[in-house]
Amino acid sequence: MDKLDYQEVQKHINILNVAYHLCLEIVEQKGYESKAICPFCGYNKNSKIPTLSLNSQTNKYCCSRCGAGGFSIGLYARVRGVNTKKAYAELIARECYSQDRAAVEISPINLLADIELRDAVYRNLLGMLKLEGQHRNYLRKIGLLNSSIEDNLYRTIPKNYIKRRIISHNLSKKYDLAGIPGFFQEEDFNWCFNRYNGFFVPVFDQNGYIQGLSIHLDKPFNNSEDIWFSSNNKINGTATKNYIMRSNISLNTKNVILTDSFILGHLIKDVLNLPVISFQNISNSYMILKEIQNTDIKNITFIIRIPNCNNNLDYIINRIFRDLLPLGYSLDTKYIKKYNDIFKLDFFDETFNVNNTLKRTA
Q: CB of 177: closest distance to Zn ion in angstroms?
A: 36
Buried b (16+ CB within 10 A) or exposed e, 89-114: ebbeebebbbeeeeebeebebbebbe
Task: Say how far apart CA 171 and CA 190 lie, in whole Å.
Answer: 11
Nearer residue to Zn ion within complex by CB, 249 or 289: 289
Is there binding between residue 37 and Zn ion (CB under 5 A)? Answer: no
Which CB atom, from 66 or from 327, has the smaller least distance to Zn ion? 66
Q: Work out whether 63 is an interface residue with Zn ion (CB under 5 A).
A: yes
Residue 19 lies near Zn ion (rule: CB under 5 A)? no
C-alpha angle 322-327-331 in degrees, rounded to nearest 5:
60
Does position 65 interact with Zn ion (CB under 5 A)? The reply is yes
Contact status: 27 vs Zn ion (CB under 5 A): no
Helix extents (H) in 128-193? 133-141, 146-151, 161-174
**Distance between CA atoms of residues 136 and 232, nearest Å:** 30
Residue 69 interacts with Zn ion (CB under 5 A)?
no
CB of 312 to Zn ion, least distance (A): 15
Asked if 235 and 106 touch (Cβ cutoff 8 Å), the reply is yes
In angstroms, give the least distance from the CB of 326 to Zn ion. Answer: 20
Strands 255-259 and 299-305: parallel
Binding segment (CB under 5 A) for Zn ion, from list 65-73, 223-231, 278-286, 302-310: 65-73
Asked if 40 is part of the footprint of Zn ion (rule: CB under 5 A), the reply reads: yes
Dihedral sign (CA 217, 220, 225, 230): negative
Q: Which stretch binds Zn ion (CB under 5 A): 57-65, 255-263, 270-278, 350-358?
A: 57-65
Strand order in the sheet with 210-221: 155-156, 198-204, 210-221, 224-228
Is the CB of 234 or the CB of 319 nearer to Zn ion?
319
Contact call for residue 125 and Zn ion (CB under 5 A): no
* Interaction of residue 49 with Zn ion, rule CB under 5 A: no
The three-class DSSP label of residue 127 is helix
In 3-state terms, the chain is what percent helix, strand and coil (to 5)? Answer: 35, 20, 40
Rounded-to-integer distance, Cα 136 and Cα 121, Å: 23
> Is position 24 an interface residue for Zn ion (rule: CB under 5 A)?
no
| Candidate residues 41, 62, 126, 142; the one interacting with Zn ion per rule CB under 5 A | 41
Nearest approach in angstroms of CB 38 to Zn ion is 3
Does 36 participate in binding Zn ion (rule CB under 5 A)? no
Pairing of strands 33-36, 191-193: unpaired
Q: Which of 38, 73, 264, 267 binds Zn ion (CB under 5 A)?
A: 38
* Angle of the 84-93 helix axis to the 72-80 helix axis, nearest 10: 110
# residues near Zn ion by CB under 5 A: 7
Rg (CA), the chain: 21
Stretch that binds Zn ion, among 59-67, 70-78, 309-317, 321-329 (CB under 5 A): 59-67
Stretch that binds Zn ion, among 63-71, 121-129, 171-179, 246-254 (CB under 5 A): 63-71
| By the rule CB under 5 A, 94 interacts with Zn ion | no
CB of 142 to Zn ion, least distance (A): 38
Residue (70 or 143) nearer to Zn ion, CB: 70
**Among 11, 18, 5, 36, residue whose Cα is nearest residue 87:** 18
Binding site for Zn ion (CB under 5 A): 38, 40-41, 63, 65-66, 68
